[in-house]
Structure 1
């Protein structure tokens, strides 16, 4: 099942994609794709509906971030061995954890806004995991019971903010529109193996990233269990699981995003995103 959210930013409504590829409104079924609506019994109730009876979403509506009411976005750094190598870093012996501000979240096709004074805005296609049940001190063996589904994420980064000066990753990851999510929240029953997904990213038609989740250092189940030992995972929380090689920082010489460029990215079975790069000043 593919859930989504549509409408103006801050007032998105819930929706579901039917078997014919039509966008259907879920407002009379759930208040939002958020919180308790992500629990297994809620998802089962939606899956049992005759979707053809639901109202169609009007054409041309903006697609928002596929999850609402997100409490936290937890990111995993250097979680692909070949990406660690291109970054000049050692493969981590345990997950590197940092946070992205929830104010960075946006729709899959919203513009990438280059922050004020930025010279090094970079891209990162990632598999994001959405939590469906509260998880605390859980085991890897049953970690997937707490997952609602998956989505495409672009973990945009400003490398100078991230790595220079005090070198705090959260500063480089949290600018406005640095967290496109979606278009769909794909429920876990539609993903046979989250460790066997092809993911890719292009800038102006040139493919920079072309990898597979099978090369993750730490897999999804391990990450969910690991994180639950340090913080309670709540419904709607997002875990962005790391990026394969091919980021701008890893090019020789490095390449960073410029206004007017178009970024396309996707994960097989989870959908695609398209974003135009704009300046901060153009949004004022």
Structure 2
């Protein structure tokens, strides 16, 4: 099942997809274009993976890590489907990053990799923009690179974990103004989803609605004001947003 959080008629609702429309909890059916899309979950702790695809590490001229490279993101960064992302004035390299986002469904502590999938509520899409002008060190990401307001669209749907047969075999694509610019597969992750859950839960408790952003494959390019960017993941959907000027 595909689930969403939306604003409609002055209130926030939970909805599910039904025949190309959205069914609210009270039974009303509304069209997708009639609503304001919100992040499908309200993220708690958000873990973001750096250089988790070998081809991406290579295109940035860095060696792939031997241990997960993880940093945290604040809730201020997240916006929904069809939202606007602000591009700071005078930056040169603001890259999209299509990522599979894993949403935790219940508390997880010292989880073994063979049990990891039992703790996942579902999957969604994130476009975790990176402003590389501000990067100090690829192995210690600067807050200004990854934690700016509006720079992580997420959604549109949270797809139940049981509806994704193999999350480690999904195609990821990004389109800028309709042109395919990024194409990869989750098969190429260096640290797969069970490994990430085992690693993170080995030293801290993961809680319901924590989110793991699993990294992005190669194929990055700069984005400009006015660009329409679509991040697509097989079986999950298409996440669209627009770049606007920060000023």
The two structures have a TM-score, normalised by structure 1, of: 0.81
Alpha-carbon distance, 1:210 to partner: 0.3
Of 178, 203, 211, the match for 1:230: 203
Deviation by residue 1:192-247 (Cα, 9 ceiling, x = unmatched):
00010000001122222100001111111111111112321111111000000011
- Output the CA distance in 1 between the equivalents of 2:157 and 2:139: 36
Which TM-score applies when normalising by structure 2? 0.93
Structure 1 Cα separation of the partners of residues 139 and 107 of structure 2: 34
Q: Structure 1 pair 191/115, CA: closer, same or farther in 2 (3 Å)?
A: same
Structure 1 gaps of 5+ residues are 29-53, 249-255
> Which residue in the other structure is 1:267 paired with?
233
Tell me the residue number matched to 1:5. 5
The corresponding residue for 1:21 is 20
**Secondary structure at 2:181's aligned position in 1?**
strand
Q: 1:140 to 1:206 in 2, by over 3 A?
A: same
Q: Distance in 2 between matches of 1:80 and 1:11?
A: 40
User: 2:69, 2:139 within 8 Å by CA — same for their partners in 1?
Assistant: no
Map 1:246-265 → 2, pairs under 5 A: 246-248=219-221, 256-265=222-231
8 Å CA contact retained: 1:98, 1:170: no
Distance, in Å, in 1 between the alignment partners of 2:186 and 2:107 is 25
Contact 1:101 1:170 in 2 (8 A): no
Within 1, Cα distance between the matches of 2:88 and 2:140?
17
From the superposition, tell whether residues 166 and 90 of structure 1 become closer, same or farther in structure 2 (CA, over 3 Å): closer
Match of 2:242 in 1: 276
1:210-229 correspondence to structure 2 within 5 Å: 210-229=183-202
1:151–1:183 contact (8 Å) kept in structure 2: yes
Distance, in Å, in 2 between the alignment partners of 1:71 and 1:265 is 23
CA distance in 2, matches of 1:11, 1:125: 30
- Cα offset, 1:11, TM superposition: 6.0
Aligned residues: 245
Match for residue 53 of structure 2 among 74, 77, 80: 80
More strand by share: 2
Alpha-carbon distance, 1:166 to partner? 11
Are residue 139 (structure 1) and residue 131 (structure 2) matched?
A: no
Q: In structure 2, how many angstroms separate the alpha carbons of the residues matched to 1:87 and 1:166?
A: 12
Partner of 2:180: 207
Distance 1:117 1:102, change over 3 A: farther
What is the deviation of 1:164?
6.6
CA distance in 1, matches of 2:161, 2:111: 18
CA deviation profile, 1:25-62 (whole Å, cap 9, x unmatched): 12x6xxxxxxxxxxxxxxxxxxxxxxxxx222365111
The alignment status of 1:66 with 2:40, answered yes or no, reads yes
Please tell me whether Structure 1 or Structure 2 has the larger radius of gyration of its CA atoms.
1
Aligned to 1:168: 141
Contact kept, 8 Å, 1:66 with 1:182, in 2: the verdict is: yes
Q: Tell me: higher relative CO, structure 1 or 2? Use CA pairs within 8 A at least 6 residues apart.
A: 2
User: RMSD of aligned C-alpha atoms?
Assistant: 2.0
